[in-house]
Structure 1
Amino acid sequence: MGAEFPKILIVDDETTNIDVLVELLAEECKTVVAKTGDQALRRALVKPCPDLILLDIVLPDIDGFEVCRRLKERSETRDIPIIFITGKESEQDETRGLSVGAVDFIRKPFSPVVTLARIQTHLALQRQRHHLVALNELKNRFLAMAAHDLRNPLNSISGLSEILLTMPLDEQENRSFIQTIHDVAGQMLKLIHDLLDVSSIESGAFALEKRPTDLATLIGERVELMRIAAREKGVTIREECPSMAPVAADPDRLAQVVDNLVGNAVKFSPVGSEITVRCGRLHDRCFLQVVDQGPGIPDAERHRLFGEFQRLSTRPTAQEKSTGLGLSIVKRIVDAHHGEIVVANNADRGAIFTCFLPDGSHEIIPTRVRPALAEGKALRMLLIDDDPVLRLMYAKAFAEQGFEWVGEARDGREGLALYQALKPDVVICDIEMPVMDGLETLKALLAVDPNACVIILTSSVDQEKWTICLAHGARYTLRKDTPFPEIRRKVLEIWKEYQGRFA
């Protein structure tokens, strides 16, 4: 359905009525006219089909009721809302009209205000129906993709873990199998992460948390993580990111943009090639640019580039897996920042992706310099989560220099008692827990210590929950599928910011 100019078919044999309706709708709709029932049936099938039909009951060949009945029998036209035009006030006509599929009636002579209001209402309802149909189709595609793309990696994990449990292996074989399980699980997490991101965007739950962001530093951190995959393919990543003033952006979402663009460049780059990542300012905008030496974007397929589940004819050079969602997510994130993404092919070879973002300097609130963690002092941490496997993983992940794992709790009540006894620096607390959920636990911790540094941990994509926790005093929210190095970095960053409040 056209968002700017919906198409309306007017069916009436009286020229005066047609002229009134065409003039009334001229500024908001594209109108098509039919003067007989037969013309109406043929013109309703002309693509694109009408978004709404205004149908007179009395016509010279077949009456409006029969036209409506036939339209409702055809798959191409059955969902088009039909409003009957009538000069009669007959309950019998109304009952018959509704029984054959009409949604409303407009009386002659026309009241412009009432007529326009009724038409706009049904066009709005039709737009909502189209949106719901699109969401349902997207959901079905999600389920189909998840079932298809998760089956093989799950089989791999199941088979390899069974071998590890039942067969004697040497140390090298053990490590190889564990590495494969780790890699396959990472692919699964990436797929689920992409699916959840697209789902939250489409459902309207997508929101940005803008704060001062050092674009050059962010790019450097993300590129460093990508260099491992690039080195394995014999690909070099070069950075041209001069120091620049912070921009107002959501750093986590911007990190997704960098990850997807650089990750795509690595996938499509041949051995011995180079990827260049640039950032800077151009006039009143900041830009992030990724240039590769791969096959480029076929001109005939460029219009599909940012759609969901799109896989182009060009293939990754090492047969890497792709969900077909990454660039769609990039586009939505850039759009949410009121930015623009531009794609071009290099004259010789490769593709150039450039994201332009508003400078946003006026949105940045100046902050004080934040002190570093005191030298030699380990950050004392407490985890509250009902998942024993996650507690085990986090205890191991944070068992390194700079962190001290002081305790674990299975629920909020136990966590509150441990907090009072151990006085940790940072609490990481799950949202979904028995006995006391994360929000209740957060409130209880801050009631005991108003200055408690609490980080909310969640696997949920429900940003309303995150917002509520932040409003009640949480310092930050972390997703459970965040890689461990990133979680450690984030925890230190949050702690430094927290310390800055008391500097």
Structure 2
Amino acid sequence: MDTQPSVLVIDDEPDNFDVLETLLDGENYQLHYAPSGQQALDRLHSFQPDVILLDVMMPDLDGMEICRRIKADSQWQAVPIIMVTALTGKEDLARCIAAGADDFISKPVNGVELRARVHSMLRIKQQYDSVQNLLKLREDMVNMIVHDLRNPLASIVLSTEILRLPGLSPEKQQQKIEEIASAGQQLQSLINSLLIMAKLESGKMSLNYTEVDLSAICISAVADIEAIAAQKNLTLVSELPQPGGVVKVDAAIFRRVLDNLLSNAIKFSPSNSQVILRAEYLEPGAKVQVVDSGPGVSKDLRQRIFEKYEIGTLLQEVSQIGLGLAFCKMAIEAHHGIIRVEDNHPRGGIFTVLLQQ
């Protein structure tokens, strides 16, 4: 686990906590102690436990009742509870499980057994947290996809309604038709990226390698995006090798990587700046770089932005779906290559793709 796991010990005898603390020494756990069930219930938010060691026999609120109350709260239901008990009868142990306990350990506590059970429960908690994070990411992803699908779809609907108006000039009609075509291409590109990612992730997609002129494919990608760059008064600069050299890639997927990287650079670059596309052949392979003058990527985000549904720098005026760079990473790694980002001093980012032939 990335963070130090938190273990809460609930026991009315401080000496028992000292024993457990000694037995767990060296396990890199953050131990907390509550001398009563009520204090534990009152301070669960401050403890934020990943696992609870709960004594059964306590005055006032006994372990069974504390366990029932913790498990009745949806916020803490997933926190594993290990009952620490001197009871050994099967009926007593069955009562522990019925109260909601996930495991139990008998007194006197054995150090090897304690460490194994705590480790096991922490592993279960980590798996639960991972599933919850994935569900949250998918929920965010659905919201982002809906948001990005709605923009071109709204443009199509609006342009279609305008085309229905009487007396529309031929120039206006042509303009609206082009807007519909552009929005349709945006929808198609997004859907295609999602389908390709799904196939790559499931291992059901075989790359169709062909020999591609690196310079030619870069020139084609720049040409197709020049109109979008011009809308922001951006200058596209190409620093490419002489035509004639080849690199073995899946041309359609590699071209989509270039499109995503260039679109990303244009999206985040301020007006009146420039975006640079560099390419060169290596021995073996090739290197492609897209350089922008945008907000850049902080060091702590340089790996995360390539994960699905992660967003780097939030900008209100910029539509971000959080899938473009994830697609690039999956596509380049499927080519057995590497993609990374670094600073473009004094401002911006440099996205580098390294292909190994």
Q: TM-score range by the shorter chain?
A: 0.7 to 0.9
Deviations 1:45-78, CA, capped at 9 Å, x for gaps: 336x232223232346743223323433445433
Structure 1 pair 21–41 and aligned structure 2 pair: CA distance change class (3 A): farther
Partner of 2:277: 277
Identity of aligned residues (%): 30
Q: Give the number of the structure with larger relative contact order, counting CA–CA contacts within 8 Å between residues 6 or more apart.
A: 2
Task: State the alpha-carbon separation in 1 of the partners of residues 252 and 5 from structure 2.
Answer: 38
Tell me by how many angstroms 1:300 deviates.
Answer: 10
DSSP 3-state at the match of 2:202: coil
Letter in 2 for 1:139: R
Tell me by how many angstroms 1:32 deviates.
Answer: 0.9
DSSP 3-state at the match of 2:45: coil
Task: State the alpha-carbon separation in 2 of the partners of residues 324 and 227 from structure 1.
Answer: 23
Letter in 1 for 2:67: C
TM-score by length of 1: 0.56
Task: State the alpha-carbon separation in 2 of the partners of residues 285 and 113 from structure 1.
Answer: 52
Task: State the alpha-carbon separation in 1 of the partners of residues 155 and 177 from structure 2.
Answer: 11
Task: State the alpha-carbon separation in 2 of the partners of residues 281 and 152 from structure 1.
Answer: 39
Does the 8 A contact of 2:56 with 2:84 survive in 1? Answer: yes
Task: State the alpha-carbon separation in 2 of the partners of residues 248 and 90 from structure 1.
Answer: 69
Structure 1 pair 54–255 and aligned structure 2 pair: CA distance change class (3 A): farther
Task: State the alpha-carbon separation in 2 of the partners of residues 8 and 335 from structure 1.
Answer: 39
Deviations 1:394-447, CA, capped at 9 Å, x for gaps: xxxxxxxxxxxxxxxxxxxxxxxxxxxxxxxxxxxxxxxxxxxxxxxxxxxxxx
Deviations 1:227-282, CA, capped at 9 Å, x for gaps: 34234544332222336987776655543432222112223445553321123478
Tell me by how many angstroms 1:181 deviates.
Answer: 0.9
Partner of 1:260: 260
Aligned length: 347
Task: State the alpha-carbon separation in 1 of the partners of residues 260 and 238 from structure 2.
Answer: 16
Does the 8 A contact of 1:212 with 1:246 survive in 2? Answer: no
Structure 1 pair 197–56 and aligned structure 2 pair: CA distance change class (3 A): farther
Partner of 1:428: none
**1:339 aligned to 2:330?**
no
Deviations 1:317-361, CA, capped at 9 Å, x for gaps: xx66443432344455566757352231422xx41223253x634
Partner of 2:325: 327
Letter in 2 for 1:277: L
Letter in 2 for 1:237: L
Does the 8 A contact of 1:37 with 1:64 survive in 2? Answer: no
TM-score by length of 2: 0.74
Structure 1 pair 121–255 and aligned structure 2 pair: CA distance change class (3 A): farther
DSSP 3-state at the match of 1:45: helix
DSSP 3-state at the match of 1:265: helix
Partner of 1:401: none
Does the 8 A contact of 2:287 with 2:353 survive in 1? Answer: yes
Does the 8 A contact of 2:339 with 2:352 survive in 1? Answer: yes
Letter in 1 for 2:104: F
Does the 8 A contact of 1:34 with 1:43 survive in 2? Answer: no
Task: State the alpha-carbon separation in 2 of the partners of residues 213 and 115 from structure 1.
Answer: 60
Task: State the alpha-carbon separation in 2 of the partners of residues 36 and 248 from structure 1.
Answer: 67
Does the 8 A contact of 1:301 with 1:312 survive in 2? Answer: no
**1:352 aligned to 2:353?**
no
Partner of 1:69: 68
Task: Report 1:167-206 matches (<5 A).
Answer: 167=166, 169-193=168-192, 205=202
Letter in 1 for 2:90: E
Tell me by how many angstroms 1:18 deviates.
Answer: 0.8
Query: Which blocks of at least 5 consecutive residues in structure 2 are unaligned?
Result: none
Tell me by how many angstroms 1:30 deviates.
Answer: 1.9
Structure 1 pair 148–79 and aligned structure 2 pair: CA distance change class (3 A): same
Structure 1 pair 250–82 and aligned structure 2 pair: CA distance change class (3 A): farther
Partner of 1:312: 313
- RMSD of aligned alpha carbons: 4.2
Partner of 1:485: none
Task: State the alpha-carbon separation in 2 of the partners of residues 193 and 306 from structure 1.
Answer: 18
Structure 1 pair 35–352 and aligned structure 2 pair: CA distance change class (3 A): closer
Tell me by how many angstroms 1:95 deviates.
Answer: 3.3
Query: Which blocks of at least 5 consecutive residues in structure 1 are unaligned?
Result: 362-503
Deviations 1:27-52, CA, capped at 9 Å, x for gaps: 5x5241426235644664336x2322
Partner of 1:87: 86
Tell me by how many angstroms 1:127 deviates.
Answer: 2.7
Task: State the alpha-carbon separation in 1 of the partners of residues 249 and 20 from structure 2.
Answer: 52
Does the 8 A contact of 1:222 with 1:255 survive in 2? Answer: yes
Does the 8 A contact of 1:344 with 1:351 survive in 2? Answer: yes
Tell me by how many angstroms 1:179 deviates.
Answer: 0.8
Partner of 1:490: none
Does the 8 A contact of 2:286 with 2:356 survive in 1? Answer: no
